[in-house]
Amino acid sequence: MFTIEHDFDATVVTLVDDPASHRQEDVIINAFEDCVTIEQLEPTTDRLQRVTLSMAQLRTFLPLLTCPRVSTGCDPIGLATGLALDLRPLRPDMLVNRKRDEMPTPNPAALEFLRTRRSRPAKTLTTPVPSRDALRPLLEAAARTPDHGKLEPWRFIVLERDALLRLAEAVRARGPEIGIEPEKVEKGALQYADAHLAVAVISAPKPSDKIPEIEQVLSAGAVCLALLNAALAAGWGANWLSGWASHDPEFCRTALGLSPGERVAGLIHIGTETSAPPERPRPDLVAITTWVSA
């Protein structure tokens, strides 16, 4: 028998209660969007054996499977389940072994980047900006955000220069209609008029009996941060903004083309920085952290 759980970024299948001697330990299958991993603890060495299969490798295995629980029309989850049901001792070169409590290989450069990252104010950004080809990897990185249930409750609207100028005029027209002060209207308009590239991350919750809407909204916020960090890591300046217009339903409907139920989670401005901002005070970890030991 097996259990299936949907985590934020993977579907996890656990095979249990199998009488065969080589399957006394649970087999854990993690199905990600680009690969499937099959894990089992080796009790004699207390090491975790892991096999990682790409989707292309899974497709290659498909015609070789004869397990009655798996059909040739199965999805990658079913295919990986079939492989695990017939898991046998594998060649050492196919395995990634580590002890159950052993830490994964650290990535000091990535950790240092996250510890020291700093947004670049949008008003300091100029040309050049990423081309469409240069922007796609950043969007791919952002789309790898944790997504409970794999609902993809968000989408991107890439705003290029002419679109930003159009939006600036739409802000100037919409502000007086809803009583926004002239100074605030102009400030909101310049956010678009002075920009050369921005990506609107749209929160688009999907109907679900299992996944609360708040988790889907938080996932869209995580996309904003992932895109911001991807742009910074790629050497661009980037800033996450919003503004009154992005929270106005009528502006979002008419100027951005949002559908009912959609909202702007953030506007990620990307460009070339003209000056590095000074460091600012950071949160006091002692004040905001609670350690719970029991």
Structure confidence by residue, pLDDT tens digits, 46-72: 777 788 888 777 776 665 554 444 444
Q: Is the pLDDT of residue 89 over 50?
A: no
Examine the pLDDT at 134 and tell me if it is beyond 90. Answer: yes
How far, in Å, are 52, 97, 109 from residue 86 at the CA level? 16, 20, 40
- Write the pLDDT tens digit of every residue in 179-236: 999 999 999 999 999 999 999 999 999 999 999 999 999 999 999 999 999 999 999 9
Q: Domain spans of the chain?
A: 2-99, 117-273
Q: Per-residue pLDDT for 77 more than 90?
A: no
Residue spans of beta strands (DSSP E) within the chain? 2-6, 11-15, 27-31, 35-42, 47-54, 98-99, 125-126, 154-159, 198-203, 237-241, 263-273
pLDDT for 39 equals 80
Instruction: Decide if domain 117-273 falls under CATH 3.30.1370.100.
Output: no
Q: What is the pLDDT of residues 135-171, one digit of tens each?
A: 999 999 999 999 999 999 999 999 999 999 999 999 9
